């Protein structure tokens, strides 16, 4: 499934719509699950959702570039549903919550030793995220804590483009 997501990302970068009828995101959206889950978030927190679709693929790209051994064993069973939730998220706090879930499923051996000191503050910042820009900043902070040896080889050449794309998506 990781490669399926990469194909989806490649399609997005070529301008192909990720919302093709009958696709994974369509199926998930048809279930109306994301909107029901947002009932506990007040309207005042539902900000900056316009344009979120430009940032969501980069959350998935980051995860797809992490080697399986980067994550806890339980992640393999959760991963596909997680990716569907990211793609169908309508509000910034939803994606922030999914970023927190990814981080929590990341094995300690895959992060820099300094992450233990920074983690609590990062979690607080992610929980307070209400804009794409703030979400993108926290995505980049988490990515910076990941060790190179726990990332796919392609990440070495893709990383600079990913950072640029995240920054651009945040500034749209």
Q: pLDDT of the chain along its 172 residues, tens only?
A: 454 544 444 444 433 333 333 333 333 333 333 433 444 444 444 444 556 888 999 999 999 999 999 999 999 999 999 999 999 998 999 999 999 999 999 999 999 999 999 999 999 999 999 999 999 999 999 999 999 999 999 999 999 999 999 999 988 7
Provide the pLDDT for residue 4.
52
Look at phi and psi of residue 16 and say left if phi exceeds 0, alpha if psi is from -120 to 50, else beta: beta
Separation CA 79–CA 85 (nearest Å)? 10
Domain residue ranges of the chain, discontinuous segments joined by + = 2-12+50-170
Report the candidate in 88, 100, 90 with the shortest Cα–Cα distance to residue 127.
Answer: 100
Output the CA–CA distances (angstroms, integers) from residue 87 to 59, 84, 122, in the order listed. 9, 5, 23
pTM summary value: 0.74
């Amino acid at each position: 499934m990781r490669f399926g997501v990469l194909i989806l990302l490649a399609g997005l970068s070529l301008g192909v719509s990720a919302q093709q009828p009958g696709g994974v995101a369509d199926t998930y959206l048809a279930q109306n699950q994301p909107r029901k889950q947002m009932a506990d978030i007040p309207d005042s927190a539902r900000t900056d959702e316009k344009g979120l679709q430009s940032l969501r693929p980069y959350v998935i790209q980051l995860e797809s570039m992490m080697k399986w051994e980067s994550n806890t064993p339980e992640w393999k069973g959760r991963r596909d549903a997680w990716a569907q939730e990211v793609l169908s998220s309508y509000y910034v706090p939803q994606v922030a919550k999914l970023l927190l879930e990814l981080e929590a499923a990341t094995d300690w051996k895959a992060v820099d030793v300094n992450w233990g000191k920074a983690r609590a503050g990062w979690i607080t910042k992610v929980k307070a995220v209400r804009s794409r820009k703030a979400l993108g900043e926290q995505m980049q902070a988490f990515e910076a804590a990941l060790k190179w040896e726990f990332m796919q080889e392609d990440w070495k050449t893709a990383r600079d483009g990913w950072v640029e794309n995240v920054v651009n998506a945040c500034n749209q």
